A and B are shown apart, each in its own frame.
Chain A
């Protein structure tokens, strides 16, 4: 019975990477006893994990359908500026936030329409909008950061409070996990990634579905940028960028979502983001030289992925016997 439970667990896509996350946490905790066991360090760790996790959820929905959004990191910086301008113009803060997200959604819509209706591969479409949105943000902001003007309570809810971001991330993960596994939208996203022609022949509106996922990914990226702006207390045109977009894609892949499409997991994206966050936070606390940091981070990403792929494969082999 116990071995069946164990093999059932190992067969889950997310299982092996969850083990990696636990091992990493144990190692950093033993190397630096301040890693987990204080509120400040927990908050700190969660702030490494949350932004990557939220963006990764959007990327995973796209990756399952065989698409990708490279512009996410730029939309991240773009949305809070639109919110700021709307608030400046006298719009109530909450509406201003929605306007910011709407603007992000428009970028997503543009990505989706160009990719699906004009048949440009999403890698190329979003590479284009990456530069386009970046330039747009720099232009409208004149390249200078601004301070968000919201009531204290509003700011606390939307990122400033230490655990606000991670709670938002968990909320997004739960909602999208349910969408992916328990709604027609999610099921059809998987089907369109596994067999695009087949899904269309079955009558699934693949175009509408994928455009929707582009909008979703962009809105989530814009929302993350807004949360981070309130947390840091500054809206920076250079915030986010390609670093966070690639971390989000990496989180998805590490969590068990292949770039090829047809399968994937939202829970895995959260765990993948946790692994990256633990690495980032852990190495920072240990005090590794900034130059060697990326070397170790890169190697760790590769190691985590190799472990993930091969443990899953071995578990499958054991299954087949």
Chain B
């Protein structure tokens, strides 16, 4: 299976703090990869490097087999990498369709380039319909939507841009079971369409094993465990983390 994204020995130091200590990771074409690990294990830093938001202090990155040095979020986006951050990057007071097209608005031709509200409204509604996200209207401000609907809009926005690699930071955080179901269905549907590869940071082991094809576990800025989801279990993951926790307690 070909690779969508590969990180090779990525390091990131902030002054004296080492956030990432040689992380190597492959996201295969068309898979869902779950990234697990405690707070401070380096998951978010890794994510920020993969999206071009931070630059690594060491290591190499490959997109579709070609080495790249990501200069900015825009650069990563141009290569087909989209990210949904934990804070969702939604502007609450703006409508759903404005958020869907934030910073890639459709404008009329001409010197003044006025916004084409109608085209954005129609395209947003059609796209949400197509991927099965149901909201009352694309005209409502996103602040009036539920947490699950907002997350769905954020994911839809990322996917709407011809992304081939989708990075998600805690897509199911603080969400009830029904809401989480909405997002899980959406992700699995996107995967089945086959165009997109998804890497997501997760906290909940059971949910992760449910959605992901493969999981990696991060500890202290390193990847310490990697398996197909079918070849591991919540118990096994818990055991690893528990051993780690005991080792730390006894050494301190």
Interface residues of A (CB under 8 A from B): 178, 181-184, 187-188, 190-191, 193-195, 197-199, 201-204, 262-263
The contact of A202 among B72, B103, B113, B117, by CB within 8 Å, is B103
Residues of A contacting B73 in the complex (Cβ-Cβ under 8 angstroms):
201, 203
Question: Residues of B with Cβ closer than 8 Å to A?
Answer: 53, 72-74, 77, 83, 85, 87-94, 98, 102-103, 105, 107, 112-115, 117
Contact among B83, B103, B113, B115 with A204 in the assembled complex (CB-CB below 8 Å):
B103
Q: Do B93 and A188 touch across chains, with their CB atoms under 8 A apart? A: no
In the complex, the answer to whether A190 meets B93 with C-beta atoms within 8 Å is: yes
Q: Can you sample 14 A-B contacts with CB below 8 Å?
A: A183-B112, A184-B113, A187-B115, A191-B91, A194-B93, A194-B94, A195-B87, A197-B87, A197-B89, A198-B85, A198-B90, A199-B91, A201-B89, A204-B102
Besides A181-B115, A193-B93, A194-B93, 6 more A-B contacts (Cβ < 8 Å) are A183-B115, A187-B105, A195-B90, A198-B89, A203-B73, A262-B91
- Chain B residues lying within 8 Å of A193, measured Cβ to Cβ, are 93
| Bound complex: CA A75 to CA B114 (Å) | 31
A182 pairs with B114, CB closer than 8 A: yes
Would you give the shortest CB distance from B206 to chain A, in whole angstroms? 29
Question: Majority SS of interface residues in chain A?
Answer: helix
B contact patch SS: loop
Q: What 7 A-B pairs come out closest when comparing CB atoms?
A: A198-B89, A194-B91, A191-B91, A201-B89, A263-B93, A262-B93, A202-B103
Question: Which residues from A are CB-within-8-Å of B88?
Answer: 198
Residues of chain A lying within 8 A (CB to CB) of residue B92? 194-195, 262
Contacts A195-B87, A199-B89; A188 near B114 (Cβ below 8 A): no
Rounded to whole angstroms, the CA-CA distance of A187 and B112 in the bound complex is: 14
- Bound-state CA distance A203–B114 (Å) is 20
Q: Are A183 and B94 in contact (CB under 8 A)?
A: no
Give the complex CA separation of A184 and B83 in angstroms. 22
* Residue of A188, A198, A262 contacting most chain B CB atoms (<10 Å): A198
Residue of B nearest to A195 (CB): B91
Which residues of chain B are near A188, meaning CB under 8 Å?
Answer: 103
A204 to B94, CA, bound (A): 15
Contact partner of A190 (CB less than 8 A), chosen from B53, B83, B89, B91, is B91
Nearest to B142 among chain A residues (CB) is: A194
Q: How far is the CB of A239 from chain B (nearest CB, A)?
A: 34
Question: Nearest A residue to B51 by beta-carbon distance?
Answer: A201
Known A194-B91, A262-B91: A184·B85 in contact at CB below 8 Å: no
Given A182-B114, A203-B77, do A198 and B87 touch, yes or no (CB 8 Å)? Answer: yes
Q: Which B residues are CB-close (under 8 A) to A190? A: 91, 93-94
In the complex, the chain B residue whose C-beta lies closest to that of A201 is B89
- The CA-CA distance from A36 to B98 in the complex, in Å, is 42
**How far, in angstroms, from A193 to B93 measured CA to CA in the complex?**
9
